[in-house]
Amino acid sequence: MTKKTLILIATAGSAALLLGAWGFQYIGGLSPCKMCIWQRYPHGAAVVLGVLAFAFLGIRPLPLLGALAAATTAGVGFFHAGVEQGWWEGPATCTSGDIGGLSAEELLNQIMSAPLVRCDEIPWEMFGVSMAGWNGLISAGLVLVWIAAWRAR
């Protein structure tokens, strides 16, 4: 495959994952948790990097930066999936962690900024894999596509 084709595939992959997340949120009514939102930022960066890499093929580090963005969201996705499965603790502000450390004002702000969506609950899954897990798997594949684009001439 050509470098342009690989960049297009990687960019479209991140764009599709973002659109899917927004679809689940705005059409499906599944409000995202804090960690779900964290997974979206690197996809946005990957889309911007993909547009730049496609337009300026001579800037060699852009596909590597795209791979870094995809690896970041894959890492957050795998971490989030582990939190959902109870393999490790997630951020105390969005899991079943102790709220005793929050001040009254912080607790009120958290309540008032509802909906409170916990990071340790699985709102949707397919074939036993949660959305966070799917994001991790697909994003790991996108890392490989970005690296292939970087290596392509």
Q: Residue 110's pLDDT is what?
A: 65
Q: Residue 139's pLDDT is what?
A: 97
Q: Residue 129's pLDDT is what?
A: 85
Would you kindly state where each structural domain of the chain is located, as residue ranges?
A: 3-88+102-151
b/e code 77-91 from CB counts within 10 Å (16+ = b): bbbbbbbbeeeeebe
Instruction: Note whether 148 and 1 are within 8 A (CB).
Output: yes
Average pLDDT over residues 56-73: 93
CB atoms within 10 A of CB 92: 14
| Alpha helices by DSSP H, the chain | 3-26, 34-55, 61-85, 104-112, 131-151
Identity of the residue numbered 87: W
Whole-angstrom distance between the N-terminal and C-terminal Cα of the chain? 10
**Whole-structure pTM value:** 0.81
Tell how far CA 51 is from the center of its chain: 19
Residue 9 has which token pair? 């595939």
Q: Residue 101's pLDDT is what?
A: 67
CATH class given for the domain over 3-88+102-151: mainly alpha
Average pLDDT over residues 34-52: 94
Q: Residue 128's pLDDT is what?
A: 86
pLDDT digits (tens, 9 = 90+) for 75-121: 999 999 999 888 888 887 776 545 566 677 877 776 666 556 777 77
Q: Residue 99's pLDDT is what?
A: 57
